[in-house]
Structure 1
């Protein structure tokens, strides 16, 4: 098979299927699977991305028992892993006795970065003074790029000047803080920073290079906490074991990576179901695990402690650039169903739900590790779903 296919993108979906059938020696049955577009038609799929040859479907499930800020939620999840949905539902049940999950308000501020290179140390002050003096004019320019966002109450709010040292010498990085409201914000942010960069190019020293959103959205943080019932967890000994597991993740980046991956199991499943960018969420979460670490290296995103009554308390905080508006979100038939089930329209509320799901997923994994081990329950459910009784 050769991978160099001239003009592959110019063909229709059906023509691409025929080409791939020959190149990959697909059977008629396999080609018929490619022709099953589910709830789409070929033209709709072709409008979403490049070189489409079919539709890939995953299970759409619901996690139950979630009580978040005194509101009841069924959580749509798209994942191939049965234990993720079961674990989240179970952990949400453990939290209900003490009021479920309590989530703090979430701002919708994203960061756009403008990179300035080829500067001398003494020029950094000049750039900073110019930005601060011209800030209102610069913010007005940025906001002129998106009248709809401004009319809804969003827009550029501030510009922060940062200095960093690199292998290519000193650089100035401008952080443009933009309230994107219920959107993820990449398009609005990128448009604004590009406009600002064009304006600044001949007005400040150095050379402007990158103009792009940052996925480490430290001004768009979601935070929640919960108290988990000791007896439901398995008793005081299990709570003690969970604290040992948490101490491991807090101190060791090798363990913390898997610990945090478990948190994202639930958040990414919800993000897929609601048409959100799982890569941006995961990148921001893992970066924050290093950025916010008190140990000086990558560490646990969640925190646990035992209160004076011997109850296990948990807290999770991470960047949450999750949206309730966007092309896929508004046009994908399954995401529309997901939002009807959630009964959510605001990004802030969805962010609160997502961080609660992440904490539930985390405590469920720690409980399994601290008791029977992760494989026993995982493989039992896996084999049950596959009909394997061995």
Structure 2
């Protein structure tokens, strides 16, 4: 069957769904019913969601959970988390409660600089290009004033522009490397607009620069785009307490726990295979809050993982030590976030999430997100170095397995009761469920 189609984007939503159902599903009516079941009953709200992206056919729901008791810089927060993975919200909430009783989290924004680049090809003498840039640098600021004036009123704007010679990496390759302050907006559209004007100014001014030959005047702009790697937009999150205060569980010796915890972090600092999974756990907490607050979690992921590789080897983002009887656990990560613009003013749940956080500034949101990541990492490492990760995770996952089996309410009660005292695994649940059904029949 030929599944290619021309003019798909011009079809109505009903027509798109009808075509997909007929082409791809053995039971088209059932497929259509499932897709439409996820439409919002409020037509205006559904239209809002339809307009977020192209070729919308339905909504794809994620649970929005809440992790209370986050004490950050002396203030309590209830943190919204949008995520589908079992145990993440519970683990974050447990870690938040644990540290709220030990002074809470401290978070500090170290810098908020964003980066954008104009990538171009110049075939000529580098000294001439350097002279050109030195003489024309102010032009780049002047010719973006119409773009930057509103941002400047809020205390932001273009911080600096430098010329970078990258010819050691690629023949004739140069950059205009610009830094920006975008205040409470993530700033992608602002930065890209500035960069595109830089490119126009670069090419226009080159045409009239008297030192350039006719060939040198023809600068080829390859692209103008912001970078999601923001190593100077950094937030630090940390916790500390006396080692003896780590004795939440009386079955665990706090000194032994602290030493084992630190060793686990050290392994992630030197072993990339472990570091990837270690940092994925951090991102469980970070992505969930980033998504709930309408920010770009793909950009955040890319920038943070690049930062984890800044030494030339992929390493743990978090660090831990024991010093003078004190346990210290901390992390510094790059986070480019916004609390105005984009989905923050459009998506109703995003607006509620930000209101729940008491309408934070971008810097305050950076702190909250970083703390959520550190809390998640603490919870994961505590499980790994004590009971093992599967005990808690599989108990949380038990509900999903029960739903897959389509157990009755009576069977659900029996299954949950049985696995309160027995190890949870998918195979074990299926076997116990089958035994229940055999007894029943």
CA-CA distance at 1:207 after TM superposition: 2.5
Q: Against the structure 1 CA distance between its residues 312 and 40, is the aligned structure 2 distance closer, same or farther, given a 3 Å change threshold? A: farther
Unpaired runs of 5+ in structure 2? 207-215, 403-414, 417-428, 430-441
Question: CA separation of 1:337/1:171 partners in 2, compared to 1, >3 Å: closer, same or farther?
Answer: same
Q: Deviations over 1:250-305 (max 9, x none)?
A: 001111111111111111001111111010000000000111x3xx3111111111
Match of 2:345 among 325, 330, 341: 330
Distance 2:178 2:371 in 1: 29
The structure whose RCO (Cα within 8 Å, separation 6+) is larger is 1
| Equivalent residues in 2 for 1:147-162, closer than 5 Å | 147-162=149-164
Q: 1:188 aligns with which of 183, 187, 190?
A: 190
Aligned residue for 2:435?
Answer: none
Task: Output the CA distance in 2 between the equivalents of 1:19 and 1:119.
Answer: 52
Instruction: Give the TM-score normalised by structure 1.
Output: 0.92
What is the CA–CA distance in structure 1 between the aligned matches of 2:139 and 2:288, rounded to whole Å? 42
1:165 to partner: Cα distance: 4.7
Residues of 1 paired with 2:313 and 2:360: CA distance? 37
Listed one character per residue, the Cα deviations across residues 89-122 of structure 1 (whole Å, up to 9, x for unaligned) are: 11122222332111113543211111122445x4
From the superposition, tell whether residues 384 and 51 of structure 1 become closer, same or farther in structure 2 (CA, over 3 Å).
closer
| Bigger Rg, structure 1 or 2 | 2
Q: What are the equivalent positions in structure 2 for 1:144-183 lying under 5 Å apart?
A: 144-165=146-167, 168-183=170-185
Q: Is the 8 A contact 2:321 2:327 kept in 1?
A: yes
Match of 1:104, SS state, is strand
CA distance in 2, matches of 1:322, 1:308: 36
Match of 1:302 in 2: 318
Residues 193 and 212 in structure 1, CA contact (< 8 A), matched pair in contact too: yes
Partner residue in 2 for 1:14: 14
- The number of residues matched between the two structures is 384
| Deviation at residue 2 of structure 1 after TM alignment | 4.5
Q: Is the 8 Å Cα contact of residues 68 and 77 (structure 2) preserved in structure 1? A: yes
Could you tell me whether the CA contact under 8 Å between 1:106 and 1:352 is conserved in 2?
Answer: no
Unaligned runs of 5+ in 1: none
TM-score (norm. length: structure 2): 0.82
Q: What is the aligned-residue RMSD (CA, Å)?
A: 2.1
Q: CA deviation at 1:39?
A: 6.6
Q: 1:72 to 1:39 in 2, by over 3 A?
A: farther
**1:1-390 aligned within 5 A:** 2-25=2-25, 26-35=27-36, 36-38=38-40, 41=43, 42-105=46-109, 107-119=111-123, 122-123=125-126, 125-165=127-167, 168-204=170-206, 205=216, 206-227=219-240, 229-232=245-248, 234=252, 235-291=254-310, 293=311, 296-309=312-325, 311-384=326-399, 386-387=401-402, 389=416, 390=429
